[in-house]
Amino acid sequence: MNFILATSNPRKVEELQAILGTKHNVSTLADIGFDNEIIEDKATFAENASIKVKAIQFRRKYFF
């Protein structure tokens, strides 16, 4: 299974990859060529995470 981690923090990627092991691949936004700015202007972590998911889904739907 492939995961896209919506972060530019390489340490977070390393940590998640270590947890998931070699059966899963963890990519960053940069790895998939996503260089658009994502405005996180909501009040909660969950709301901002939803913004990121929608932006990535839109990009993957139309550009991959």
Q: Check residue 14 and give its pLDDT.
A: 93
Query: Which pLDDT score, from 0 to 100, does residue 62 have?
Result: 55
Mean local confidence (pLDDT), 36-49: 93
- Beta bridge mates, 26: 3
- The residue with tokens 């998911």 is 53
**What's this model's pTM, rounded to 2 decimal places?**
0.70
**6-41 pLDDT tens trace:** 887 889 999 999 999 999 999 888 888 888 889 999
The one-letter code for the residue type at 32 is I
Measured CA distances, 28 to 14, 18, 33, 43 (Å): 11, 15, 9, 24
Question: Total domain count for the chain?
Answer: 1
Which residues on neighbouring strands pair with residue 3, listed in sequence order? 26
Range of the domain at 8: 2-63
- H/E segment holding residue 13: helix 10-20
